[in-house]
Structure 1
Amino acid sequence: MHICLILAPGFPILTYVLLREVISRANTLAGRALFSIELRTVTGTPVSSLDGIEISPDRTDWEDPPGWDLVILCAGSSPLGRLPMGLRGFLMRAQTAGGTLAGFDGGVTILAALNLLDGFQAVLPSEASEEETEILSRIAPSDQLFCFDRGRLTAATGLAAGDALLAWVARVHDPEIARQVSDKLSLGHFRSDGDARHLPRAEDPVLARMQSIMVTHLGDPRPMDQIASDLELSPKQLRLRCRKGLGQTPTQVYLKLRLERAEQLVRDTVLSVEDVAQATGFASPSSFTRSFKSRFGAPPRQLRQMI
């Protein structure tokens, strides 16, 4: 099966790495090339991630797709700056041929701007300008981590995008392969329906929602006051509720989730320590290394050497 991944300038590097890892692991576990992947960029030229990592496309044109099964648009904030003339036609031809169109984070905004999500349900991007909000108003918002709706697959960035791709793999090929890839990448309990993955068990639905918000914002941690506001609680009320339900403060829960993701990236990717720190929302490599060592007993470079 054929996958086309289209990157826009400022794309989130964690999402890109996870998508490539999911496909690579699925092929390895199957013992054959179940999925091929071709890389394109919105500009037709090399583009840089939000972190400054440059990626070059495999092709620079918008010729007819050779039977794409999945076309993914991966973008960060402000994704509408340079949309090429041929992109919409490319996506429409992929759709007509039976392919699924996917948008992750700012990729959702691109699909919406091209009128390819009108009347669909979708996961909205974490950030949007006033202009983008108007464009996204034509979409029925989903509160899930990812959403499948009639040939459209949408998700937020990072972990949710990895789950979304795994759900697609489960649908088009084999749920068992998807589960094994999830286990190999330490993504937690795989869900094919878009609901939040298993986190520290929270019987309280408010705390479950808190954890979902945290999971979708590992690379760009939301202020705790904002999370409390999203849950219609005061920060004090959230702390008390979290201590009662999970035995930890919200800050402790959030840090644990970020460090567990960082540990997976150190083990299973070739990202530098600096890139892992940025991908999991740490202000500097030094603060990341201190927190990582406190949690896992060794700094990230040493842990990677031990693997």
Structure 2
Amino acid sequence: MVERRVFSEGHQGKNLRYVKNEPTSAPAHTRVGFFLLEHFSLPAFTQALDTLVTANLLQANLFATHTFTLGGGEVTSDLGIVIRPDADLRTHRLEDLHLLVVCGGLRTPLRGNQELRLLLKKAAEKGIALAGLWNGAWFLGQAGLLDGYRCAIHPEHRPALAEAAKYSQVTSESYMVDRDRYTAASPNGAFYMVLEWIGQRHGAGLVDGIVDILAFEASRYRRVNPKLHIKMTPPLREVVKLMEANLEDPLDLEQLSAYVKRSRRQIERLFKDQLGTTPLRYYLELRVTEGRRLLQHSALPVVQVAVACGFVSPSHFSKCYTAYFGYPPSKEARLN
């Protein structure tokens, strides 16, 4: 029997969808509600929604999403696309939600609504996390729900929020997370805001998997722990690039050391401190991950995939592959 292995943080997210674990009961849904204001930013909304949908692709049934308006009627987005919501927020059980997101937009009028204000206060009293997209933060602030919080809002509406929520700290950040308040000033900010919320609930592995799919270029050398916001240092980045460029004929640690002009011990320390693993383990996981991609997206036979990924024999490749994924490469689904 092959001993099971777990991917280190650096490769966990990339393979999360494909690791075969022991069957467990389906996790309980985390429910997210999107309250859509007139002329809400469709790009900001879809960025937030796509982040949750991608999380479900990696780990099934994590999130359930719902859209709301007051009265349940249709609403027109900033792009002129009409959206029919799932329900009327007034009649929905607020306690069923874990996060309620107020979706605004550049042309969303900043008009107070007593009914919405009371519903938002009720949600806060029930311990539901509250969020605002674009100028959605204004409606939270106008309800007194940002007092003592740092928040983000589109630059066009910063003065209005500062006036409506005098006891909040209005920042110039694209997104802000402060305890149970989540605010974003742009579509990109909405992505990172939801990503951080997901990370708080489900950990860095899932966050990395989402980022690997949706924001590859922006995150290629990003540290895997989203709370630290640490990037790989240049020497470690150089070593990783060398590994990625030499999969078929892997370099040993002495060769890597010579190329980057660092001692073996220095390289080992870099991997431990920044990636929480060893160079050899990282290199192996890099090759196993590439093997999975080749099997899924090419017509290469297993023998050629093993060679292309630097394994000394198909049996060694099969043993390593089975240890990480829970099934041999011959059983991998060919997606091409």
Quickly name the TM-score band, shorter chain normalised. 0.5 to 0.7
Report the CA distance between 1:85 and its aligned residue: 3.4
Flag the structure with larger Rg: 2
| Structure 2 counterpart of 1:154 | 183
For structure 1, list consecutive stretches of 5 or more residues without a partner in the other structure: 202-306
| Structure 2 counterpart of 1:107 | 136
Partners of 1:130 and 1:94 in 2: how far apart?
26
Report the CA distance between 1:41 and its aligned residue: 2.3
Distance verdict in 2 for CA 1:43–1:52, change over 3 Å: farther
Identical-pair percentage: 24
Supply the RMSD in Å over aligned alpha carbons: 2.7
Distance verdict in 2 for CA 1:65–1:15, change over 3 Å: same
Match of 2:51 among 22, 25, 50: 22
Matched AA of 1:158:
P
Distance verdict in 2 for CA 1:177–1:131, change over 3 Å: closer
Matched AA of 2:226:
S
Question: Which digits, 9 at most, give the CA deviation of each residue in 1:214-237, with x for residues without a partner?
Answer: xxxxxxxxxxxxxxxxxxxxxxxx
Partners of 2:228 and 2:140 in 1: how far apart?
20
Partners of 2:159 and 2:179 in 1: how far apart?
28
Partners of 1:155 and 1:163 in 2: how far apart?
8
Distance verdict in 2 for CA 1:52–1:18, change over 3 Å: same
Whether the 8 Å contact between 2:176 and 2:182 is mirrored in structure 1 is yes
Q: Which has the higher contact order (CA 8 A, sep 6+)?
A: 2
Whether the 8 Å contact between 1:67 and 1:99 is mirrored in structure 2 is no
Report the CA distance between 1:151 and its aligned residue: 1.0
| Structure 1 counterpart of 2:226 | 192
Secondary structure of residue in 1 paired with 2:96: coil
Report the CA distance between 1:111 and its aligned residue: 0.8
Task: Count residues in correspondence.
Answer: 198
Match of 1:118 among 147, 161, 164: 147
| Structure 2 counterpart of 1:56 | 84
Whether the 8 Å contact between 2:71 and 2:89 is mirrored in structure 1 is no
| Structure 2 counterpart of 1:169 | 198
| Structure 1 counterpart of 2:74 | 46
Partners of 1:124 and 1:155 in 2: how far apart?
6
Whether the 8 Å contact between 1:145 and 1:156 is mirrored in structure 2 is yes
Match of 1:8 among 18, 37, 48: 37
Whether the 8 Å contact between 1:67 and 1:97 is mirrored in structure 2 is no
Matched AA of 1:135:
A
Match of 1:70 among 99, 121, 124: 99
Question: Which digits, 9 at most, give the CA deviation of each residue in 1:87-116, with x for residues without a partner?
Answer: 223222322232210111110111111111
For structure 2, list consecutive stretches of 5 or more residues without a partner in the other structure: 1-29, 235-335
Partners of 1:96 and 1:178 in 2: how far apart?
29
TM-score, with normalisation over the residues of structure 1? 0.58
Partners of 1:74 and 1:118 in 2: how far apart?
20
Report the CA distance between 1:34 and its aligned residue: 0.4
